[in-house]
Amino acid sequence: MITATNTQWKRTMLHSARAVVIALIIVFVLFPIFWMATTAFKQRIDMFVLPPQWIFKPTLDNFRYILSTMPVGRWVLNSSVISLGTMALSLLLGVPAGYAFSRVHFRGKGILLTFILLTRALPPVVIVLPFRVIMQGLGLFGTRTAVILIDTVYDAAFTAWLMSGMFESIPVDIEDAALIDGCSPVQAFWKIILPLSKPGLVTASLFTFILSWNDFLFALTLTSPSTATLPIGMLSTYGILNQGWTYMMALGCLAIVPVVFISLLLQRYYVSGLTFGGVK
Amino acid sequence: MISSVREYFNTGKRSLYLFIIPITLYLIFFFLYPVLYEIYISFFDYSLGSPKTFVGLQNYVLMARDEQFLHSLITTVIFVVSAVSAELALGLGTALLLNYESRIMDIIRTVILIPTVFTPLVAGLVWKALYNPDLGVISYYLRLLGIPIGRGLTVERSTALFSVILVDIWEWTPLIVIIILAGLKSLPKEPYEAGAIDGASSSQLFRYVTLPLLRPTIIVAVLIRAMDALKIFDIIWAITGGGPGTATTVANLRIFQVGVQQLRIGYASTLSNVLLVMSVLVGVFFIHVLYSKKYGGIR
């Protein structure tokens, strides 16, 4: 009897301990996010109060201020154009390459794959210096195109790798059957294989968009004030005394909300991209 | 008449090029060429706006005596090793805690993904405010608990590096959790049943069954994180800017200072080469693991 209650008691304790640890992890994960979201809606008098007030009178003043005094619309537009441009160019380059990788052996395949995977390891600082010189030579320095071009190096390679895994999971017999039925190989790819690869295409689109949206270093070194993205724009709140944090966090919310929203909506695809195609 | 895709690719070579040539040209022009140019320019004294002068190995000799840069390399290694090992330990622990099927666990697994989507610069700015020595919430609570933080975690030399590592842990441990959870899900059941029959305890099962089976998953997770940690820039730039002094100046930051701020492009390229070699080594090992049966390669 005594031992039975003992084990039961032990198990209850273990379960409670687990719950407490999980709760602590969640607090650690959510606390900075919560602080950012609340600060964005705080007034100056509430912002500096310590201990922090979690219950306060929310205000939209910070959003009104940043929208009326800063070119937020332009930053959002620049971020969107760069992210969508990178996404489109990466799919255009990466998807066909992934298909060829999954279907045939050709000379130089190993070298090409090695280069594609090596992009993942390349620190942005290493490539951005020569890239800047090259962009200056092409007259593209300070344009959104320059950022799209350098983001695409990473994102097209990522897409090619991800899609080759996707295509490998589709049996080659499907195309062969289509060919016998009179399809041309390009038709078979376009009309049969691509529709079957929707999960991979969603993952690639989502992830290339997010990678580009979250970029800071390339935008910092390659854009000019008129082509600045949201993260670059956030830096301009640095100089504002007193109310700086609330404006900064309001901008931060604008930067975060779209990517958090779409990645949670498309969670399965997001996870697949996050793990480099390891989790399908 | 062509009746198979392989045959098509093998005979109609032209259409194969259609699939491969665009990305090949792209990578040659925007990846290989910049990297080769960077290696080439590292032998020149070249600052933006002034003419190039060939100086041979002079930049490399300079680098070997550049204590600031050598120190930044050490800081980089400390950053990568401590961040990744902490993330692995915490990630493994968290994954084991969350490895249960229930509605609440689904929600928790979703919630912990949020930091990984965060724009790193925004994450850095948020944490910078939290760490603020006078007005930051973290400083406030630590002082309240009686923990001595001096002038502030990010301001004291002894804790600055730790404080940026903590942010990296916050943002990227979830990645390890997700990878390991996927690994745990795909483990076979038989070894556990056999182990249970033989009377193995749960800690023995973990040590002798789970860990060895998870090894390939763990290696891939660690290498992905190591490659990305070697690229660290945004978070440190936002929180400490490399300071106090040079306490958090990793190699990326030092190269940025020399190349983008001082515009000494030749010398910055020399420094970049060291980082390039380091990341290529990790990258090559990563590729080896992806394709190697020994590590349970995923391809």
Q: Which two tokens stand for residue B280?
A: 């290529």
pLDDT of residue A51: 81
Closest Cβ opposite residue B140 in set A50, A213, A255: A50
pLDDT of residue A34: 94
Count of CB atoms within 10 A of residue B98's CB?
A: 22
What are the chain A neighbours of B268 within 8 Å (beta carbons)? Answer: 129
Task: Verify whether the Cβ–Cβ distance B120 to A134 is below 8 Å.
Answer: no
pLDDT of residue B197: 87
| Closest chain A C-alpha to B168 CA, distance in angstroms | 12
With 90 as the cut, is the pLDDT of residue A107 above it?
no
CA A52 vs CA A48, A117, B72, B127, B130: distances in Å = 8, 46, 36, 15, 11
pLDDT of residue B53: 87
**Looking at this protein, which amino acid is placed at residue B283?**
G
pLDDT of residue A279: 61
What are the chain B neighbours of A176 within 8 Å (beta carbons)? Answer: 3-5
- Give the best-scoring range by mean pLDDT among B205-209, B240-244, B251-255: B251-255
* Buried b or exposed e, range A34-60, using 16+ CB within 10 angstroms: ebbbbbbbbeeebbeeeebeeeeeeee
Q: Which spans in B198-264 are helix H? A: 202-205, 211-229, 234-239, 251-256
Closest Cβ opposite residue B119 in set A50, A127, A214: A214
pLDDT of residue B1: 47
- Kindly report, residue by residue over B188-238, the tens digit of the pLDDT: 888 888 888 888 888 888 888 888 888 888 988 999 999 999 999 999 999
What's the pTM value of the predicted model, to 2 decimals? 0.92
With 50 as the cut, is the pLDDT of residue A48 above it?
yes
What are the chain A neighbours of B2 within 8 Å (beta carbons)? Answer: 179, 185
Classify strands B53-54 and B44-45 as parallel, antiparallel or unpaired.
antiparallel
Task: Verify whether the Cβ–Cβ distance A92 to B22 is below 8 Å.
Answer: yes
Q: Which of A204-208, B10-14, B182-186, B199-203 has the lowest mean pLDDT?
A: B10-14
* A 146-205: CB under 8 A from B: 149-150, 152-153, 156-157, 160, 165, 172, 175-176, 179-180, 185-186, 188
pLDDT of residue A228: 93
Closest Cβ opposite residue B234 in set A92, A176, A216: A216
Q: At what angle do helices B67-98 and B103-111 cross, to 10 degrees?
A: 170
Instruction: Give the closest residue to A230 by CA, choosing from A129, A83, A38.
Output: A83
Task: Verify whether the Cβ–Cβ distance B230 to A188 is below 8 Å.
Answer: no
Task: Verify whether the Cβ–Cβ distance B41 to A131 is below 8 Å.
Answer: no
CB contact A238 to B (< 8 Å): no
pLDDT of residue B22: 94
- Kindly report, residue by residue over B261-278, the tens digit of the pLDDT: 898 999 999 999 999 999
DSSP structural state of residue A66? H
Q: Which pLDDT band holds residue A272 (cuts at 50, 70, 90)?
A: confident
Closest Cβ opposite residue B97 in set A21, A119, A186: A21
CB contact A93 to B (< 8 Å): yes
ipTM of the complex: 0.91
With 90 as the cut, is the pLDDT of residue B161 above it?
yes
Task: Give dist(CA B284, CA B111) in Å, integer.
Answer: 33
Task: Verify whether the Cβ–Cβ distance B269 to A129 is below 8 Å.
Answer: yes
Task: Give dist(CA A116, CA A163) in Å, integer.
Answer: 12
Chain B CA closest to residue A128: B34
* Average confidence (pLDDT) over A272-276: 83
pLDDT of residue A47: 78
Closest Cβ opposite residue B298 in set A121, A216, A278: A278
Chain A CA closest to residue B47: A133
| Closest chain B C-alpha to A126 CA, distance in angstroms | 5
- Kindly report, residue by residue over A117-162, the tens digit of the pLDDT: 999 899 999 999 999 989 999 999 999 999 999 999 999 999 999 9
Query: What value does the mean pLDDT of chain B take?
Result: 89
pLDDT of residue B277: 94
pLDDT of residue B4: 66
Q: What are phi and psi of A84, to 5 degrees?
A: -70, -40
Q: What percent of chain B has pLDDT over 70?
A: 92
First-to-last CA distance in chain A?
Answer: 48
* Average confidence (pLDDT) over A253-273: 91
**Contact yes or no for B121/B266 (Cβ under 8 A):** no
CB contact A43 to B (< 8 Å): no
Q: Which two tokens stand for residue B275?
A: 């980082």
- Kindly report, residue by residue over B109-136, the tens digit of the pLDDT: 899 999 999 999 999 999 999 999 888 8
Instruction: Give the closest residue to B250 by CA, choosing from B84, B68, B83.
Output: B68
* Average confidence (pLDDT) over A84-106: 93
Question: CA quadruple B84, B87, B93, B99: dihedral positive or negative?
Answer: negative
